[in-house]
Structure 1
Amino acid sequence: MDRLTAALDDLAAEDLSGRFGPQLLDRLRPLLVASNRLAAEVIRTVRECEVTSAAEHDGQKAMASWLRGHARLSPAAASRMVRSGRALAQLPAVAEAATAGAITAEAVAVIAPVAAPGNVAAAEAQQVDLAGVDTTLAEVAASRPHAELRQVVDHYLARLDPDGPEPDPTEGRSLVFVTHADGSVGFRGELDAVGGEKFQAAVESIVQASRPAGDMRTRAQQSADALVQLADNQLASGQLPVLRTVKPHVIVRIDLTDLVDPATGPGAATTGLGATISAARARWLACDGNVSRIVIGPDGELLDLGRRHRVVPPPLRRAVEYRDRGCVFAGCDAPASWCDVHHLVHWADGGETSLENSALLCERHHTKVHHGFRVERDTSGRWHTYRPDGTEILILPRSTAEPERSRTG
């Protein structure tokens, strides 16, 4: 690893500004091969970590969770890497090509479904020569365009089960949200025929019920507004399931000075899921919502409620959510809505129900801290997580001067 780091340092130190196109391409080609080889080693190591339950060392249940928290991968990328590791363990020809740098990590991810247990079992039942398939896929991935590899894999999987049983409609459903840098939210999803019909009927009912004269919105804008209105209707009805003893609602955090200032105040408020909005937008939401005052300090609202309140009351929970944002366990990305308020000093040991003695922890990590792991908040407001042996869990990257800690409070 030291030699690899030194080689990367040497490459990064090279000045590329004076080189021409052919020289740069000659440099790029071996770098791409090296990148493929390095990606294969990462995937292979992730697989061994999964086999040996290495993530448990840092208090995580699975490698996908560890990769999200410690390597800061997206959920999709983390799951894809884990599946790719399992595939390389099942497909030696593909693994050899990946190790040699002949195929990319993206190609391995496309091939990975071939090695899924259900597909392997189907191949064995039909006496398919999986070794031959492995060799063919390695050759296609190394020599043909990526789109052709995807077609070959899709064709193979379709031939494994050309008819198949009547599918469970819920298995094909998916909905993924992505929060962009400006706080806007994108999403993509798939629904079965019946589920899609229900969804479109609900949206269309709102679209057709709200068609004011002079409406200049596009059809796409009308549908998006209808979807938001459906959410508004459900939230306002009070019929949605309770989240951690509280009805689901939109949370906006804003300083009092920004709330009362008539200026627009861009970037002055934060939503419960982390998006940044203007003070004007926050004031608009406050017109039809409840405003709760949270003051961190000796002169504000009483947050230290004493031992009489073993169950955390809503005002205190709001204060803890405001401070912690989500699970404070190192490497965990669980949002506040998934979390319990944990007593740092247990109730039975004299711990008070107060802001200073509270921390947000998801269900898994709440259990972990009751079985040897420990979280602490230092005087600067930064959370630290310790294993049962007393060593601290640190999050990548770790600089030589100052290791990065788990989470800022």
Structure 2
Amino acid sequence: AFDQVWARVAAESPHQSLVAAVQAFEDALDPDGSEPDPTEGRRLTIAKHADGSITGRFDLDAVGGEKVQAAIESIVQADRPRGDERTRAQQNADALVQLCDNQLASGDLPILRTVRPHVVVGIDLDHLVDPATGAGAASTGFGATISAARARYLACDGSISRIVMGPDGVPLDLGRDHRVVTPGLRKAVERRDKVCVFAGCGAPSWWCDVHHLIHWLHGGETSLQNSALLCERHHTKVHHGFRVERDPGGRWRTWRPDDTEILIGPPLT
């Protein structure tokens, strides 16, 4: 009798209905069976590619999956700038990175060997100050190789440590960590800009880095006048050809790499 019902469900209903039907019969045959631990099936695998990018796969139980979806969806729905042309997959990926960015910046993650979790990048000074892209010039703490341009983006709002190396590769001198953007300056930039200043965005300040309009490596001052709040995604855009500027009236304006301005009109009523 079970086989006949299952065959009819399989032929006439969606695939998941068959899964539910089989599970219902199994539960009926053993109504007093023990509740399995759903967390035992959780898996997360990450594969790193030659260019430093990663591919991942995870398997979660229903409750664990609901938590992950709720966290990602909260950022997706809070970050819907006008004119956004990203696919849903791109939105989810950006939300996952932003979620990790927020958590790392909060300082609430477990401290490992007296150090809070953070992104580590190593690069030679010559590559860092050279305006060229410098592909493969920097390395991260987990072994990825990134460009000098990407390292300069991360150095825009980070802590810098100077390490002098000897000819045999042994460190000779280690300078103190220097925070590029001081807490006081960040408070001032947040008070002035309040949100990501990229046209159409408006992501909250706690998602944002303090971007140097003229990079400090190229003589730009670490000052309120040379700073702008940009969320992780748009900070990346500005380091890849886009440009933000503050006009004399205090209004932020955004230009594409081809020097056309991104114009966002008033909201529809």
Q: Which residue does the alignment assign to 1:205?
A: 74
Distance in 2 (alpha carbons) for counterparts of 1:223 and 1:288: 24
Deviations 1:224-278 (A, max 9, x none): 0000000000000000001111000001111000101111111111111111111
Give the CA deviation at 1:165: 2.5
Superposition CA RMSD, Å: 2.5
Correspondences of 1:215-234 after superposition (within 5 Å): 215-234=84-103
Distance in 2 (alpha carbons) for counterparts of 1:238 and 1:225: 21
Corresponding position: 1:235 with 2:110: no
**Among 173, 192, 197, the residue aligned to 1:302:** 173
Distance in 2 (alpha carbons) for counterparts of 1:207 and 1:172: 27
SS of equivalent residue, structure 2 residue 165: coil
Q: 2:46 touches 2:54 (CA, 8 Å); kept in 1?
A: yes
Distance in 2 (alpha carbons) for counterparts of 1:302 and 1:278: 25
Correspondences of 1:236-315 after superposition (within 5 Å): 236-297=105-166, 302=173
Give the CA deviation at 1:301: 5.4
Give the CA deviation at 1:300: 7.5
Q: Which residue does the alignment assign to 2:43?
A: 174
Q: Which residue does the alignment assign to 1:195?
A: 64
Distance in 1 (alpha carbons) for counterparts of 2:54 and 2:113: 24
User: Quick check: which has more Rg, 1 or 2?
Assistant: 1
Distance in 1 (alpha carbons) for counterparts of 2:172 and 2:116: 23
Q: 1:293 touches 1:301 (CA, 8 Å); kept in 2?
A: no
Deviations 1:164-193 (A, max 9, x none): 521112211111111011110111111110
Distance in 1 (alpha carbons) for counterparts of 2:64 and 2:171: 49
Aligned AA (2:54): V
After TM superposition, the score normalised by the length of structure 1 is: 0.34
Runs (4+) off by over 4 Å: 298-301
Aligned AA (1:254): I
Q: 2:165 touches 2:173 (CA, 8 Å); kept in 1?
A: no
Deviations 1:79-109 (A, max 9, x none): xxxxxxxxxxxxxxxxxxxxxxxxxxxxxxx
Aligned AA (1:233): N
**Structure 1 stretches of 5 or more lacking a match?**
1-158, 304-313, 316-409
The number of residues matched between the two structures is 146
* Structure number with higher helix proportion: 1
Q: 1:252 touches 1:282 (CA, 8 Å); kept in 2?
A: yes
SS of equivalent residue, structure 2 residue 164: coil
Give the CA deviation at 1:297: 2.2
Distance in 2 (alpha carbons) for counterparts of 1:249 and 1:297: 26
Distance 1:183 1:300, change over 3 A: closer
**Structure 2 stretches of 5 or more lacking a match?**
1-25, 178-269
Aligned AA (2:151): A
